[in-house]
Amino acid sequence: MPDNETITLELFRYHPETDSEPRFQSYDVPYDEDWVVLDAINWIKDYVDGSVTHRWSCRMGVCGSCGMMVNGEPKLTCAAFLKNYYPFPIKVEPLVNFPVERDLVVDMEGFMDKLQDVKPYIIRDDVNDTSGGEYRQSPAELAQYKQYSMCINCMLCYSACPVVGHEDEFLGPAALALGHRYNKDSRDQGQSERLEVMLSSEAMWGCTFVGECSVVCPKHVDPAGAIQQAKAMGAQEYFKRFVMPKGAGV
């Protein structure tokens, strides 16, 4: 490949202190088939325009920082190779369904609150007593929730989800999958109180198993599957309340 090949990135720009409207700015970047979109953005920031603003860290698809819309699709930019777009321009925007802070950075406070809402931790009385050694958990029991524990909180699924787009209080795919992860963990005893939160919003039932969340998930967590299972568990829980006093079940 000749040294002078370039590829064009069209970056979404918005600065809250100076811009009333977002705009796009084009940059020509040296084309390298080993580069990912994130490398190209970093090159722009380093050598052309230091004001371009984005989040990143690990560059290996596990820290979850660098999710953006790449040609309209939610992607980890550290896993989106330029060669898959070349020679055409690449349009990069902040993740949709989130307020924009600046340029490619979105406000994720609401997402963080939703993670906390589903009580994503082991609930049982002896959780801090280590004297009896590890809790036993068979490989089969581990397999019950392992997939749902793989979420890196990259939020791509919130950008893909049609319900998140119009229902602010919807806990959303990642948070519900995380709640489900603890509900399915054999060490946990908090399913009842967790389901109460997960099923409390009408919006949960608005999830129509479109499954876009699972399609875009870079870690194959399958939040859509988790939500359907949680609904089924919720229905059982609901039934139990009629036949047992509250809190006696599970």
Partner 1 sequence: MSHVTTHEHDVIIIGGGGAGLRAAIAIAEENPDFSVACVSKVYPMRSHTVTAEGGAAAVIKDHDSLEDHIYDTISGADWLADQDAVEYFVNRAPREMIQLEHWGCPWSRKPDGTVAVRPFGGMKIERTWFAADKTGFHMLHSLFQTTLKYGNIVRYDEHFATKLLLDDEGRCRGCAAIELRTGTVRAVLGKSVIICTGGAGKAFPFTTNGAIKTGDGMAMAYQAGVALKDMEFIQYHPTGLPGTGILITEASRGEGGILVNKDGHRYLQDYDLGQPLDVNDPRHPQKRAMELGPRDKLSQCFIKEKNAGRTIRTRDGHVVHLDLRHLGEKKIDKRIPFVRELARSYAGIDPVHQPIPVRPVVHYVMGGIDVDSNSATNIPGLYAAGECACVSINGANRLGSNSLTELLVFGGQAGTHAARFAMDHPDYDVSALLAQAGDERDRIRRTYFSSPHKSGSERIAVIRKELHESMEDGAGIYRDADSLESTCTKIAELRERYANVALDDHTNSFNTELTAALELSSLLDVAQSMAHSAMQRTESRGSHQRLDHPERNDDDFLAHSLAYHQEDGSAPRIEYRPVTITKWPPGARTYGADSGLKRE
Residues binding partner 1 (CB under 8 A): 15-18, 34, 45-47, 49-51, 53-65, 79, 101-103, 105, 108, 112, 115-116, 119-122, 126-130, 133-139, 141-142, 145-146, 149-150, 152-153, 178, 182, 185, 187-188
Minimum Å gap between C-beta 142 and partner 1 is: 6
Closest CA to 32 of 45, 17, 18, 43: 43
- Look at strands 90-93 and 6-13 and give their pairing: parallel
In the complex, the smallest distance separating the C-beta of residue 144 from partner 1, rounded to whole angstroms, is 10
Whose Cβ is closer to partner 1: residue 80's or residue 227's? 80
Nearest to partner 1 of 102, 163 (CB atom): 102
Say whether 109 sits in a helix, a strand or coil.
helix
**Smallest separation, CB 19 to partner 1 (Å):** 11
Please list, residue by residue across 6-34, b when 16 or more beta carbons sit within 10 angstroms of its beta carbon and e when fewer do. Answer: ebbbebbbbeeeeeeeeeeeebebebbee
Judged by beta carbon, residue 103 or residue 212, the one nearer partner 1 is 103
Q: Which residues pair with 27 in a beta bridge?
A: 9
Which residue lies nearer to partner 1 by CB, 130 or 208? 130
Query: Is 104 within 8 Å of 68 (Cβ atoms)?
Result: yes
What's the closest the beta carbon of residue 219 comes to partner 1, in angstroms? 9
Least separation in angstroms between residue 234's CB and partner 1 is 21
Element (H, E) at 93: strand 90-93
- Which residue number, 32 or 212, has a Cβ lying nearer to partner 1? 32
Could you tell me which of 181, 70, 196 has the C-alpha nearest to residue 121?
181
